Structure formats: structure tokens, C-alpha cells
Amino acid sequence: MPNKTRMKKTFSFKKLANKIDDIVVKDINTLGNHINKTIQKGIDKGKDIKGNSFKKLEPITVALGGKKILNRTGKMRKTNKIPAKKGNHSFKIIAPTDYGAFHNTGFTQTNKKQWFHGSKVPQREWFGIPKSMFPGNAAYEK
């Protein structure tokens, strides 16, 4: 005669489901905040999201008062964050200026009112998910 095993339920699947949502939101916000901090540190250290050093400042930028790459006015550092919430599992980091988006891809100044019209601005890939935050890399694993 086989042994009968009795099981007693000691938890609620509904409570567990509610806690999972809180855990997911907390983890997404932790990752999003870390990515944002890494972007800020990259600006401070003069490195792109891949960890490479930025090309040095062009003489025209220095003439305009630039001393540190992507930090002439300080606006690039003021990213806006929209954290994840229950029911909306996305964390958004919004670049503070359109100019930042241009820098991310590189561009040629086409505004004829600018005295440096025609200048080429090199790509400085400062905004995005840093290489360190991809699966298999140290910051992601942490």
C-alpha cells in the first residue's frame, strides 16, 4: 500500500502575485537609476557609454567657453527620470536637450545664424544603455 502524503497550503497565490509586481518594479527602478548614474559618470570622466574616451574638444568649442566635453552649460547632466510603477514596467531616462541627441549621433552645424556655421560636431555617444549594463558584464550582474 503506497504512502499518502498530505500537503497544507501556507501561502496565498494572490499575495505572491502582488509581491512579484512590487519586486519587478523595484528591480527595474534600480537598474534605471544605475544606468542614469553611469551616464552622468561618463560625462564627468569624458567617456562614452561603451567606456571609450571622447575625442578632445575642437578649438571652436573651447573658443565658446567649453572646458569639459558635454559639460559647457551643465544641461546635459540634468536628465529626467520617469520611474516604473505597478502596471507600467518601464523606466524612462529623457535627454534634457535636443542638442544632446545631436551629439549622440554627430552632426554638422547648419544654422546660418551661428558664426560657426558648417562646423562638424563629432559623435559623442554619451546617452543610452552603457556597455557595463548588458548581460554578462559586471554592473549588470551586480
85 — pLDDT class (breaks 50, 70, 90): very high
- Output the pLDDT for position 37: 92
Enumerate residues 6+ apart whose C-beta is below 8 A from 122: 55, 58, 106
pTM, full prediction? 0.76
User: For residue 31, how many C-alpha atoms fall within 13 Å in the half-sphere facing its CB?
Assistant: 21
What is the tens place of the pLDDT at every residue in 95-134?
Answer: 888 888 888 888 888 878 776 778 888 888 989 988 888 8
- Output the pLDDT for position 96: 85
CA angle, 86 then 77 then 93, to 5°: 25
Percent of the chain at pLDDT exceeding 70: 98
Q: What is the DSSP letter of 123?
A: P
- Output the pLDDT for position 69: 84
